[in-house]
Structure 1
Amino acid sequence: MLMVIFRLFRSLSAGMIAIAFPYRILVDLKYSTSTLGLIYTAATIATAIFGLLFGFLADIYSKKITLLMAAVLLPLSAILIFSSNNLFLLFVAAMLGGISATGSTSGGGVGGAAAPIQNAIITDLTRPQERTFYFSLLMFLGSIIAALGSLAAKFLSNKDIFLLAALLSLCSALVIAPIKLTRTANHENKFALKSALTIGKFTLTGMLNGLSQGLVAPFLIPFFVITFNISESVMANYAFISGIIASFALLAAPYLKRRFGFLRSIIITRGLGTTLAVIMPIFRILPVSLFIYFSMPALRVMALPVQQSAMTDMVDSEEVGRALGVNQVTRLVSSSLGTLFSGYMFDISEIGLPFYTYGAVMGINIFLYYKFFKDSKE
């Protein structure tokens, strides 16, 4: 229960920050999309490094203490953004808070350095046959609250959003202080991995997932700002709707796993999402763009609990934290390259090219999922 409350506080903060941060940079401070892309890139790389470090510490030291360390970074980040207009400090704040926009808030798109530890703890507390359900339930609740956070952003001034986000995320750190875990960390064989081959497969597919996310996810809101001149308050409504749809899509994960299994769930959902991404810049008609904006995140996250469950099942139980950390670091570093590319493309008004590149990268990724896991029993 404490982990659920922890996730909800952070998700509410993340939803508010995700909608407010690009407006803070692009509208309030009038920086370019390239600057926003550089900030997202720096934050992505920092989140990757933090995630890898925390993943190792969780396995070989203490999951609880490591989660507390990760938890305090988000409130510190929000306070910095609230208190300063200095570009350097905004870079630092984004790096500390993981404000990378490289993933849905349900999957750790803001404050993502804590995600591997949260998932490792859930793995410890659940049986294999229950994990898809619990991953999907926790993501569902987090995504619903994040969507509410996005909606709440329209009722506050841009700066006040970050002050409230700081207070809420600080509460999340306090909530987990009493948590008790029965499984102890493994202090032996700190760097030896029994599941290296499996981790390598998930790492390569995760890297391509990250690259594709970096190409498009940070620039969906700027796409509407640039193409349709949508105001922040109206965009908050759209983000709320998109978040709600994605939230309920997560509840389909247990059914997907039962009906299609791990591999086909990935192929079907990611394939449909890729098709929509390629269509988005071609038909720049607001209703069409909104339909895609509402659908893409749902298709992207629908099979995420299935993927996470499969990974934790295939990896040795004492290596889950490190596996998730390694997976995250490669995913986020590659996403930073996509973000840099798309930031430049948006600056020179080639806003369609990132979406087409996304389609090519995801096509390769889906093929590799099939190649690597076609014989999997998951």
Structure 2
Amino acid sequence: MTRIQMHSIVKRLILIRGLRSIGQGAMVVDLSLYLKDLHWSGALIGGVTSAAGLFGAALILFVGILSDKLGRKPFLLIYEGMTMLSSMIASMTTQGIILILAIVIAGFGRGQSGAAGPFSPAEQAWLARYVERSNRGQIFSLNNGVGFLGMAIGSVLGGIPGYIHTANPLEAYRPVFLMVTVLSFFCILLLSLIHEQSIGSAVGQSSHGRDFRDKSHSVQRSEENGKNIVKEQDPDETNIRRQENKAIFKLAFINTLNGLAVGLTGPMMAYWFSIRYHVGTEAIGVTLSISFFLTAVSSYFSGILAQRFGMVKSVTWMRIIGSACMLALPWMPTFTIASFLFVIRNAINRGTQGNRSALSASLTRDQRRGFASSINALSMRLPSSVGPTLTGYMFDVGQLNLPLILTAALQLVNAGIYQRVFGEYDKKK
């Protein structure tokens, strides 16, 4: 992979993602198992996870649009503050309504690979501003990889409750919640040290204009302070926006299938392993940790594949292979074999996230990138919010394998449509 000089703000945002992802990795392991130890039903656990997704979906669109006008930094500070407060409260009580509020507000257990939840459009737009479009597949894959590496570390730490022998679940899981509190505090400190220039002072553009806009639209590009300054020669702003919107909503439609697939299994896999193979946080934590670590490696190589074969094609083929692994997973006879297959599937499938984010960030100019990222995230989060409730219900009625089979089928269909709609983009990079 060609070495790329990164702006200091890019480095800091990637570091923050790494710290944030440690807590998220621990929550992926522990949240559903903690609620299970509190004797919550599968449907209730899934319902709360769905509510967290819906709450995030309600924020996403507003965050993207407002961050285009007000800047990205304030929204990331709000997210870290919400996470810190929610984790601190969750470490103090097992009261149902209070736990529900904390989980819904912070989005615990959804496994967001270090992304800032419903505030991720602001984060992605801020990152994209300092990265050339030709390098986005590589940098976004690195960012994704750091997030999964942090989740790998967090998943190991998520096994801590299994070593604390107590009849009170809160005492066993409290160290994990407090760890999330501390990590969020450090993220706030790092964010406060970053100076954000106003968006209007230097409009960072994507070269997407040559791909999705009229070919006659010319662009002058110059470099200043590590950002792209693009001077538009075509006065037809309405036409530009129309074509940008068309590309954005095509991607949103395709993401709907993937969002539902992710929601069916992502937040509930620890619970599935627990009831399918009767294992605890220690074993599940190690399995998820290995899967996240290999996903980080996969993200790195995904960036290489993107440069060689194209962002879209690399996503398509990795998703097809990952879907085949998911389809086989329910039939594995032992936890060891199932864990191995799950690790491979996760690494291949989730390693595409950086390239998918890079494509989304390249569909518009900088002043609309928050909006584009919001539509992209919303199209994933809304359908994914429905998934955990459906899965929890299926688990309660004994249909353990059905959610996994549905996930595999949906992602296979998604891969085919994704390639057909955006395949030409690889030829224009």
Contact kept in structure 2, 1:59 and 1:321, CA below 8 Å: yes
**What residue in structure 2 maps to residue 213 of structure 1?**
262
**Residue of structure 2 aligned with 1:99, choices 108, 114, 119:** 108
**What residue in structure 2 maps to residue 45 of structure 1?**
54
1:61 aligns with 2:61: no
Cα deviation code 1:239-280 (max 9, x no counterpart) = 211111111111012211123212221221111111111111
Cα deviation code 1:205-243 (max 9, x no counterpart) = 221111000111122111110011111122211121111
**Residue of structure 2 aligned with 1:26, choices 13, 36, 42:** 36
Partners of 2:89 and 2:251 in 1: CA distance:
35
Partners of 1:299 and 1:82 in 2: CA distance:
34
**What residue in structure 1 maps to residue 291 of structure 2?**
242
Q: Residue type of the partner of 1:120?
A: A
Partners of 2:155 and 2:177 in 1: CA distance:
12
Deviation at 1:166, TM superposition (A): 0.9
**Residue of structure 2 aligned with 1:365, choices 396, 414, 419:** 414
Partners of 1:288 and 1:248 in 2: CA distance:
21
**What residue in structure 2 maps to residue 131 of structure 1?**
136
Name the SS of the counterpart of 1:218 in structure 2: helix
Contact kept in structure 1, 2:263 and 2:388, CA below 8 Å: yes
1:350 aligns with 2:359: no
Contact kept in structure 1, 2:318 and 2:352, CA below 8 Å: yes
Cα deviation code 1:47-90 (max 9, x no counterpart) = 12222221111112121112212221111221121122122122
Q: Residue type of the partner of 2:128?
A: T
User: 1:294 and 1:174, CA in 2 relative to 1: closer, same or farther beyond 3 A?
Assistant: same
Contact kept in structure 2, 1:135 and 1:309, CA below 8 Å: yes
Name the SS of the counterpart of 2:330 in structure 1: coil
Partners of 2:81 and 2:136 in 1: CA distance:
27
Name the SS of the counterpart of 1:246 in structure 2: helix
Structure 1 vs Structure 2: percent identity of aligned residues? 22
Contact kept in structure 1, 2:312 and 2:355, CA below 8 Å: no
1:167 aligns with 2:172: no
Q: Count the aligned residue pairs.
A: 369
**Residue of structure 1 aligned with 2:152, choices 144, 147, 152:** 147
Deviates more, 1:123-132 or 1:344-353: 123-132
Give RMSD over aligned pairs: 1.9
Cα deviation code 1:287-314 (max 9, x no counterpart) = 3211222112211222221222122222
Contact kept in structure 2, 1:78 and 1:162, CA below 8 Å: yes
Structure 2 spans left out of the alignment, 5+ residues = 1-10, 162-171, 202-236
- TM-score between both structures, scaled by the size of structure 2: 0.82
- TM-score between both structures, scaled by the size of structure 1: 0.92
Q: Residue type of the partner of 1:39?
A: V
Deviates more, 1:36-45 or 1:3-12: 3-12
Deviation at 1:4, TM superposition (A): 2.8
Partners of 1:154 and 1:373 in 2: CA distance:
41
Deviation at 1:100, TM superposition (A): 4.9
**Which 4+ runs in 1 deviate beyond 4 A?**
none
1:180 aligns with 2:195: yes
Name the SS of the counterpart of 2:192 in structure 1: coil
Q: Residue type of the partner of 1:105?
A: S
Structure 1 spans left out of the alignment, 5+ residues = none
**What residue in structure 2 maps to residue 273 of structure 1?**
322
**What residue in structure 2 maps to residue 202 of structure 1?**
251
**Residue of structure 1 aligned with 2:383, choices 334, 338, 352:** 334
Partners of 2:40 and 2:113 in 1: CA distance:
24
1:287 aligns with 2:336: yes
**What residue in structure 1 maps to residue 19 of structure 2?**
9
Name the SS of the counterpart of 1:351 in structure 2: coil
Deviation at 1:5, TM superposition (A): 2.9
Partners of 1:34 and 1:137 in 2: CA distance:
36
**What residue in structure 2 maps to residue 78 of structure 1?**
87
Q: Residue type of the partner of 1:170?
A: F
Partners of 1:193 and 1:52 in 2: CA distance:
17
Partners of 1:50 and 1:300 in 2: CA distance:
27
